[in-house]
C-alpha cells in the first residue's frame, strides 16, 4: 500500500530471522523460541514479525493483550500464542474460541473464568509466578500451591505452562536474578511434588537467554534481541553473538532555506542563528513518535554526516542544521546507516536518557513500514489507509 509523505521505517525481516537463527544455535534443542511480538512487535509490525519469526524457527508467540492475540489469529497466525498480561475473566471464552493461552495467578480469577465455560470447554493457562519482579504473579508458596491445585483439578483449565519474569537479567552484577532463578526452581520442584507437570516452564527474556542459555527450561521468551537490539548497554560486552538491528527510520528534506544571524527557528524561538546558516525541514514530528526530547541533543544523518536538530520538534515537522545548501528530496536518516555513519536506536535512547525499547515502540501508526527480505521490498504497510 502506498504512502504520500516521505517518512518511513524499513524493517529488515532477514535481520530478525538471522537473530532467531543465532538464538537457535545458542540455545539447547529442547528450548523453544517464543517470539515476543507485543506492542505491534515493539513497533516493527506484529503480523510481519510473527510470520518471519515462525519461518525462522520460533514455535511460540507472545503478546501482552488479548486484542493483540486475536489480531494475529484473524490474520491467519496458527502457532500457539500466550497473552502475558492480565485478561478479564469475563473474556475467557475468547481465549477458548481463538485458541489463545492465558496468564493466570489469582484464585478468584479462576473461579470467575470457569463460570464462563461450559462442559467440555477448556483453556490453556500458564501460571505466572512472581519471583521478584513485583508486577503480576502468585508470590507465596501457599498461593502458588493453591492456584496450581485449582488449575490441575478444574476441567476448564489445561495446565499448559508455568513461568516467571526477571527484573534484572540485563544487569551483570545483579544478585536478584540468581535469587529469582533459585526461587523459580524451588516453585517448579514444589509443583512437581504435587504430581503436576506443566508442559512448558519458562523464565528467560532476551537478556537471560543470551547469558544463561542452559538454565531456561523449555521456552525462551525473546523480544528486544530478536529485533537486533541489546537488552542493556552493559550487555554489549558479553553478547555471545552479534545482533542485527532490524529497523531503520528515514525521511526526506521537504524545505531548505538560508537564515540570517538573529533569525529563530520553531516554537518558543529557542534556536537562534548566530551566523548565516542552512536549515532543512523534515516531515516527521512527535505525532510520529519522534518526541520533543529527541530534539534537545539528537542527531540525524544527511549525506553520510551527523547533524543536529534546530529548535523544538513540532507535531508533524522538525528542523535540522545543514552544513551547506542541499536539495529538497535529500534523504535524512534518523535511525540506521548512511555509508559508514550510523545512528542506532541505542544512540537515540542514550541522548534522550531512555532505553532502546522505547524508541521503536513509540513510532506511531502514521509512519509507514516497508518490509524487506534479502534486500527486496516485500510489502509496504500504511496503517492510516489500511481499512
Ligand X SMILES: Cc1ncc(COP(=O)(O)O)c(C=O)c1O
Would you tell me which residues interact with ligand X (CB under 6 A)? 36, 84, 165, 205-207, 221-225, 231
Q: Which of 3, 38, 252, 371 is catalytic?
A: 38
Q: Does residue 267 have an active-site annotation?
A: yes
Q: Whole-number minimum distance, CB 180 to ligand X, in Å?
A: 13
Contact 93, 116 (CB under 8 A): yes
Give the Cα-Cα-Cα angle 271, 272, 274 (nearest 5 degrees). Answer: 135
* 3-state DSSP helix/strand/coil % of the chain, to nearest 5: 35, 25, 40
339: left (phi over 0), alpha (psi -120 to 50) or beta: left
CA 315 to chain CA centroid, Å, is 24
Cα separation values, 195 from 152, 191, 198, 306, Å: 10, 7, 10, 61
Q: Give the separation between CA 42 and CA 199, rounded to whole angstroms.
A: 28
Catalytic residue among 99, 236, 267, 305: 267
Task: Name the residue number minimizing CB distance to ligand X.
Answer: 223
The least distance separating ligand X from the CB of residue 24, rounded to whole angstroms, comes to 16
Tell whether the torsion through CA atoms of 308, 314, 318 and 320 is positive or negative: negative
The alpha carbon of residue 56 and the mean position of all alpha carbons in its chain are separated, in whole angstroms, by: 18
* Active-site residue, 38 included: yes
Q: Judge whether 135 is annotated as a binding position.
A: yes
Backbone angles phi, psi at 103, to 5 degrees: -90, 130
| DSSP 8-state class, residue 326 | -
Minimum Å gap between C-beta 103 and ligand X is 8
Of 360, 380, 385, 384, whose CA–CA distance to 48 is shortest? 380
Beta bridge partners of 380: 370
Find cell 534546530 and name the residue: 310
Least CB distance to ligand X at residue 205 (A): 3
Taking the complex as a whole, how short is the minimal distance between the CB of residue 11 and ligand X, in angstroms? 16
The CA-based angle 344-227-373, given to 5 degrees, is 100
153 Cβ contact list (under 8 Å, min separation 6): none
Residue 324 has a CB neighbour count (10 Å cut-off) of 8
Please give the C-alpha separations between residue 203 and each of 26, 30, 200, 215, in angstroms, as whole numbers: 16, 14, 10, 9
In the complex, minimum distance from the CB of residue 231 to ligand X, in angstroms, rounded to a whole number: 5
| Residues placed in the known binding site for substrate | 135, 315
| Residues placed in the known binding site | 135, 315
**Which positions are annotated as active-site residues?**
38, 267
Amino acid at each position: 500500500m502506498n504512502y504520500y509523505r516521505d517518512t518511513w521505517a524499513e524493517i529488515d525481516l532477514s535481520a530478525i530471522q538471522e537473530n532467531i537463527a543465532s538464538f537457535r544455535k545458542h540455545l539447547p534443542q529442547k528450548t523453544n523460541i517464543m517470539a515476543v511480538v507485543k506492542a505491534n512487535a515493539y513497533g516493527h509490525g506484529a503480523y510481519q514479525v510473527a510470520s518471519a519469526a515462525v519461518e525462522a524457527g520460533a514455535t511460540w508467540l507472545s503478546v501482552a493483550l488479548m486484542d493483540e492475540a486475536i489480531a494475529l489469529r484473524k490474520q491467519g497466525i496458527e502457532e500457539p500464542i500466550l497473552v502475558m498480561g492480565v485478561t478479564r475473566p469475563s473474556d475467557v471464552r475468547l481465549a477458548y474460541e481463538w485458541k489463545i493461552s492465558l496468564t493466570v495467578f489469582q484464585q478468584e480469577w479462576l473461579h470467575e473464568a470457569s463460570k464462563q465455560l461450559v462442559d467440555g470447554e477448556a483453556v490453556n493457562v500458564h501460571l505466572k509466578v512472581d519471583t521478584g519482579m513485583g508486577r503480576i504473579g502468585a508470590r507465596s508458596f501457599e498461593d502458588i500451591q493453591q492456584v496450581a491445585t485449582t488449575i490441575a483439578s478444574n476441567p476448564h483449565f489445561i495446565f499448559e505452562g508455568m513461568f516467571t519474569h526477571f527484573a534484572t537479567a540485563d544487569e551483570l552484577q545483579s544478585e536478584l536474578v540468581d535469587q529469582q532463578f533459585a526461587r523459580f526452581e524451588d516453585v517448579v520442584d514444589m509443583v512437581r511434588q504435587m504430581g503436576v507437570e506443566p508442559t512448558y516452564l519458562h523464565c528467560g527474556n532476551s537478556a537471560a537467554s543470551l547469558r544463561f542459555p542452559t538454565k531456561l527450561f523449555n521456552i525462551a521468551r525473546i523480544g528486544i534481541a530478536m529485533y537486533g537490539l541489546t537488552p542493556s548497554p552493559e550487555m554489549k560486552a558479553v553478547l555471545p553473538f552479534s545482533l542485527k538491528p532490524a529497523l531503520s527510520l528515514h525521511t526526506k528534506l521537504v524545505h531548505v532555506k538560508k537564515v540570517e544571524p538573529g533569525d529563530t527557528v520553531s516554537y518558543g524561538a529557542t534556536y537562534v542563528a548566530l551566523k548565516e546558516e542552512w536549515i532543512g525541514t523534515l516531515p516527521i514530528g512527535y505525532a510520529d513518535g519522534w518526541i520533543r526530547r529527541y530534539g534537545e541533543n539528537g542527531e540525524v544523518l544527511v549525506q553520510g554526516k551527523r547533524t543536529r536538530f534546530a529548535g523544538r520538534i513540532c507535531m508533524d515537522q522538525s528542523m535540522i542544521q545543514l552544513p551547506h545548501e542541499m536539495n529538497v528530496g535529500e534523504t535524512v536518516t534518523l535511525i540506521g546507516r548512511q555509508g559508514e555513519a550510523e545512528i542506532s536506536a541505542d544512540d537515540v535512547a542514550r541522548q534522550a536518557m531512555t532505553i532502546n525499547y522505547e524508541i521503536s515502540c513509540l513510532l506511531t501508526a502514521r509512519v509507514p513500514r516497508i518490509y524487506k527480505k534479502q534486500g527486496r521490498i516485500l510489502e509496504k504497510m500504511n496503517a492510516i489507509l489500511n481499512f
